[in-house]
Amino acid sequence: MHKKIFFATLFLLILSIPVLCMASAKPIEIYINGEKIESDVAPIIVNDRTLAPVRVISENLGAEVYWDNDNRQVQIITSSKTIILKIDDVKALVNGQEVVLDVPAKIVNDRTLVPLRFLSESLGADVSWDNDLRRVIINRADAKVVDLAYEVIEGKPTVVITGDSPLEYSAVEIQDDRRLAIDVKGRLDTQNNALYVYDSCLEKAIAGEISIEPPITRIVLELSSNAAYKTYSSPDKKSIFVSFTYFDNILEDLTFENKKRQFIAEITTTNAANADYFFLSNPDRLVLDIKNIGLSEIDIPHVPDNNFVKDVRIGQFADDTVRVVFDLKNDTSYQVFQADNVFSVVFSQPFTIEDVKVTSQGDVSLVEILSSDEVFYELKDDTYKKQLKVIVPGAAIGKNLLDRNVIKIADGIIDYIELAKVKDAKTYNLEIVINLSSFVSCEMLSSSPTSNVKFALHKSSSLLPLSNKLIVIDPGHGGSDPGAIVGSVKEKDLNLDIALKLKSLLESNGAKVFMTREDDTFVNLYARAGMANEINADLFISIHHNSATSSATGTETLYYPDPQKKLLAQALQKAIVSHTGFHNRGIVERPGIVVTRETKMPSALVEVGFLTNSNDLALIVTDEFKQKVAQGILQGIVDYLCGSVN
């Protein structure tokens, strides 16, 4: 009897061993060019081959992915290669040539998984396996410089360096003989390796390899005298541009005015210019960088005796930047102001804000900020936080306010007012933060400088956050790219229908709208993001529809891992499902999506529903449903701007 019990126990232990081993196995990790790649569906191993989500891998290797639901196949497309894999079929096509796979593509949890090594190597990447770490390591192949050209772009003569994949580069100027070296990480693969121009900007440019391992291609540009240059990349990073310009704006004059309690420096330029300024310590200096400007032959006047500034130095810091450096005495406050083509830098002892008064009259609150002397100030609004900030450079808090850092108001317009000193080395700003209980319009009743900053706050409608916001609407796909197709229904048409309805809603509520396409036109993904960045948009909304197995249903919103982009996705997802009643699939972090990754502003991609689900599709094609989606997106945008995201 004891023997039977012993053998039964041993048998159970043996059966449990594989289960325990499987439970303790570490999940497979994927690293591309040293960065860990996350996916909502983990890679799997089938017949000793790793299968991974096709979209995650392809997009991180610079390819675009399209799903053909009718033929149950996925297409991976780059500028030089088209790969087609059919679900559960070991035969694949690479540029029309048949390839037999060890394992076929499969669908797992509504995601298409494909053989990882085959896909990566087909896209020109190297693949290795670290068994100890259970890690797949993918590295892109070396980039190649495939062309060197001289063109006019946006009215400026420009050297264009083109690669077969994204290019990394650095620029070094050799001041002595006006030469500029552009070092590109990659091999030289073009016979067009020299440009002989001899115009007012460029004499010649010659390319050659200076290193084999790692591969480095150097392009040396011999510049003409007085030519300024700027280097930048295309949105897809495959082209490097070196554009040239003459100085059409110069620093013409510098004057000083010494007053009893102030020292003022005035800098005059030919035309209005932009400038950055910052403070450096040990020793204390104020640095003013004036952009897109040259330095003329001016005589720097002697700095008169004063209590604030020791000396002033001016130089051409870069080809397009003049730097002015003020060496300071003791603890000095400064303010920088601009009126057209004149910069005024005012140095003084710190002054104080003596009182903050609020007078409430129905739907209007009158705010007065009293100072010990005339002050310059800046008013900024933060709609998301429902705040107005009055920023007074170099000011201190007066005795009457020292114990009143928070001033309670609660008049239905203003909740409370905070006073905060924001320090930067030895200089600081005083911020008077107006925390609002409702959205307002602001009427300024004073002008800078003044000893009494005065403005009125008026209650406004709930859609005020949209006023003058610049919102980019991106209808997915278009032209030769139809997106998902089910029968006669094409995703690109649905996306555009909703986008046009949303445009109308936004504009009727005060927003400014830019469409990446307004008709059936193909637009490159990087170009879509580039448009939004170029116009400095406030928000970017991309509209798409999903496709997968027939059981997949509902709405989801995709975002790039960034706090503000996640908040926007949450607001959109909540509002859309509330308006449409569709199944809520939640928000999904997707680092590889070009339009949300490359946009600098808050952005999100809405997948409205599944064309491959008959119930979803029956509603999606109706005009009434499209209007509900547009209204949901509108509400989501307002909720985000209002900070109403749970």
Based on C-alpha coordinates, what's the Rg of the chain? 31
d(CA 440, CA 618): 42
Query: Starting from the edge strand earliest in sequence, which strands make up the sheet with 228-233, in order?
Result: 187-188, 144-153, 156-163, 239-245, 228-233
Please report, as a single letter, which amino acid is at residue 132. Answer: D
- Does the annotation mark 607 as catalytic? yes
Q: Is 78 exposed, middle or buried (0-12, 13-18, 19+ CB in 10 A)?
A: middle
d(CA 87, CA 97): 18
d(CA 358, CA 459): 15
Main-chain phi, psi angles of 320, to 5 degrees: -120, 15
The DSSP code sequence of 505-520 is HHHHTT-EEEES-SSS
The three-class DSSP label of residue 43 is coil
The three-class DSSP label of residue 355 is strand
| Closest to 560 in 3D by CA, of 569, 571, 548 | 569
Length of the chain: 646
Q: Do 42 and 29 touch, CB atoms closer than 8 A?
A: no
d(CA 183, CA 207): 10
Tell me the CA distances in angstroms from 411 to 24, 97, 438, 459, one per residue in order: 61, 74, 10, 11
> Partners of 266 in the beta sheet?
255, 344
* Catalytic annotation, pick one of 59, 431, 598, 607: 607
> Partners of 106 in the beta sheet?
113
Query: Starting from the edge strand earliest in sequence, which strands make up the sheet with 44-46, in order?
Result: 44-46, 49-53, 111-115, 106-108
- Token pair of 513 as six digits: 């709208």
DSSP letter, residue 481: B
d(CA 96, CA 87): 17
Please identify every residue annotated as catalytic.
Answer: 607
